[in-house]
Amino acid sequence: MAYRALTEQEAVEYVKELPGLFEKGATLTSHEIGDGNLNLVFHIKEEATGKSVIVKQALPYARVVGESWPLTLDRARIESEALRTQYKFVPDLVPQVYHFDQELALTVMEDLSDHILMRKGLIEGNRYPYFAKQIGRFLAHTLFFTSDLGAHPYEKKALVKTFVNPELCKITEDLVFTDPYENASTNNFNPLIKKEVEEIWKNKPLKLEIAKLKLDFLTRAEALLHGDLHTGSIFVTEQSTKVIDPEFAYYGPIGFDIGAVVANLILNYAGQHGLQSDRGKREEYREYLLTTVEDVWNEFVSQFVQLWHKQAKERSAHVEGLWQSYVNRLIQDTAGFAGCKILRRVIGLAGVADLNSIQDDQTRAEAERLALRIGQELILKRSSIEESTDITDIVRNVTTRFDQEAATA
C-alpha cells in the first residue's frame, strides 16, 4: 500500500491484520503519543489482556522550532534494521521489532511505556544503579560485533552498505560539527552567553580540533553506531535500560556513541546549577553523574576488551599491544565527540531540557557557560586522556575554577 500517514483507527486495523500479535476479534485502543515533529507514535493496547504494542510511523518531513523540511522515509528502514541488528547482541536492551513495513515507513515494536526517558529521570534527580552496566554492555556488544574486530569481513561490509544514511548523517554533520562554531542561522542560544559563543567562533585551535573530529565522523567506518545516543534516546526504569530511536544509525567512529552518553550526563551535570538549588544535594548528584560517566566507560571497556580477547574474528586482533592502542584512541575520541555534543546542545539548533528547563535566564546562562567550558576542554585536552578519571577530572577542575571565578566576580 502506498505511503500515507495513518490515523489512530487505521493503526489499529493495521495491527489487527498482523499474525501473532492479537486475536482476530480483539478490542484495541489506540493513542497517538508522539510529539508530531518527526514521527507518529501509536500506543495500541488490548485492555482485556493488558497486551500492548507501539506502532511508529515516519513522517516525510521534520519540524524543528517552527521550520519544516522534507526528510527521507528511509530512516524508518534504518531504524528497524538497526534495532534488529542490536537485538541480536543485546535483546534485553532494545525494543523487539515485531514487524516492519517499508511502504508505510512503519515499525511495530515492543511497548516500553513502563519506562521513562532518562533525560526526564535525571532532571527529576533519580538514580539508575544498573544503568552504567547496562549501557556499557549495549555499547560494547553492539559496537564490537559490528566492527571489523567482531564481524566477518563480508558481513561488516554488507552492514556498511545497509546503513548508508546520508540524510540523517548530514543533520549531524551540520548541527553537531559545523553550525555551532560559526554564525549560522540554525543556532539558537541564550543571548546572555553571546560573548562566550563568539569567543568559540574565533577560537582557531578549537575549530581545528572540531574539524578533525568532523572528518573522523565522515570517514571512520568502525562500527554500526546508534548515531544519536543522548539521554532522550534511552528509556529507563530503576532496573532496566532500553535504547530506542536509532534512525541516525550508520557506520562511524565508536567514540561518537560513547561520547554521546558522556556528553548528556555532563549536560545534566551542568544543568544542576539551576536544577538543584540545595548546594549539598547538587554536589552529591553531580558526583553521582561523574561516577556514572566513569562507570559507563569502565563497563564499556572491560566488556569490549573481553569480547576482543574471546571472540575476535579479525586475524590481527591478537597482535601484541593492538587492543591497548585501540582503546587508548577510543577514549580520546570519546572525549572529543562528547565535547562537540556538549557545545552544540548549548549553541546549536536543538537544546536539551537539562538546561532549557532552567527558568531564570541568568542562572541558565551560568549553567551554559559551565557546559561550554567543559566541552572545550574535553576537545582540546583529549590527546592527554587515558582513563575515565581523566575525563571526570577535567569536569571537576573546570567546575572548581568556574566556581572560584564566580565567587570572586
Task: Determine if 9 is a binding residue for a copy of itself (CB under 8 A).
Answer: no
Nearer to a copy of itself, 165 or 233 (CB): 165
φ and ψ of 401, to 5 deg: -60, -40
Task: Determine if 203 is a binding residue for a copy of itself (CB under 8 A).
Answer: no
Nearer to a copy of itself, 168 or 267 (CB): 168
Amino acid found at 212: K
Site for a copy of itself in 297-356 (CB under 8 A): 314-316, 319-322, 325-326
Least distance between a copy of itself and beta carbon 320 (Å): 5
Task: Determine if 387 is a binding residue for a copy of itself (CB under 8 A).
Answer: no
Piece of the chain touching a copy of itself by CB under 8 A; list 28-36, 98-106, 152-160, 352-360: 152-160
CA distances from 50 to 26, 111, 182 (A): 11, 11, 51
Print the binding letters for residues 206-225 with a copy of itself: x by CB under 8 A, - otherwise: -xx-xxx-xx--xxxxx---
Nearer to a copy of itself, 186 or 298 (CB): 186
CA distance 91 to 94: 6
**Three cell numbers written together for 262:** 558522556
User: DSSP class of residue 233?
Assistant: S
**Three cell numbers written together for 384:** 592527554
Task: Determine if 202 is a binding residue for a copy of itself (CB under 8 A).
Answer: no
79-100: b or e for each residue (b if 16 or more CB lie within 10 Å)? Answer: bbbbbebbbebbeebbbebbbb
CA distance 388 to 91: 27
Residue of 67, 129, 153, 361 interacting with a copy of itself (CB under 8 A): 153
Piece of the chain touching a copy of itself by CB under 8 A; list 109-117, 128-136, 158-166, 265-273: 158-166
DSSP H or E run through 386: none
Answer yes or no: is 95 a known binding residue: no
Ramachandran sector of residue 125 (left: φ over 0; alpha: ψ -120 to 50; beta: rest): left
Task: Determine if 70 is a binding residue for a copy of itself (CB under 8 A).
Answer: no
Length, in residues, of the chain: 409
Piece of the chain touching a copy of itself by CB under 8 A; list 55-63, 110-118, 164-172, 241-249: 164-172
Distance from the Cα of residue 282 to its chain's centroid: 24
Least distance between a copy of itself and beta carbon 168 (Å): 11
Least distance between a copy of itself and beta carbon 56 (Å): 24
Piece of the chain touching a copy of itself by CB under 8 A; list 61-69, 114-122, 163-171, 194-202: 163-171
Answer yes or no: is 156 a known binding residue: no
User: DSSP class of residue 348?
Assistant: S
φ and ψ of 250, to 5 deg: -170, 170
Answer yes or no: is 245 a known binding residue: yes
Print the binding letters for residues 246-285 with a copy of itself: x by CB under 8 A, - otherwise: ----------------------------------------
Q: Are 54 and 72 in contact (CB under 8 A)?
A: no
Task: Determine if 185 is a binding residue for a copy of itself (CB under 8 A).
Answer: no
Residue of 10, 173, 294, 393 interacting with a copy of itself (CB under 8 A): 173
Distance from the Cα of residue 2 to its chain's centroid: 32
Least distance between a copy of itself and beta carbon 220 (Å): 6
DSSP H or E run through 106: strand 106-110
Piece of the chain touching a copy of itself by CB under 8 A; list 151-159, 189-197, 297-305, 382-390: 151-159
Least distance between a copy of itself and beta carbon 247 (Å): 16
Answer yes or no: is 268 a known binding residue: no
Compute the half-sphere exposure of residue 137: CA atoms within 13 Å on the CB side of its CA: 14
Q: How many CB atoms lie within 10 A of CB 363?
A: 14
Answer yes or no: is 182 a known binding residue: no
Task: Determine if 204 is a binding residue for a copy of itself (CB under 8 A).
Answer: yes
Task: Determine if 101 is a binding residue for a copy of itself (CB under 8 A).
Answer: no
Distance from the Cα of residue 227 to its chain's centroid: 6
- Residue 39, exposed/middle/buried by CB under 10 A (0-12, 13-18, 19+)? buried
φ and ψ of 378, to 5 deg: -60, -40
Residue of 10, 46, 74, 148 interacting with a copy of itself (CB under 8 A): 148
CA distance 107 to 77: 8
What are the binding residues for substrate? 228, 344
Binding site membership: which residues? 39, 56, 110-112, 228, 245-247, 344
Chain residues that interact with a copy of itself, rule: CB under 8 A: 148, 153-154, 156-158, 160-161, 164-167, 169-170, 173-174, 177-178, 204, 207-208, 210-212, 214-215, 218-222, 314-316, 319-322, 325-326
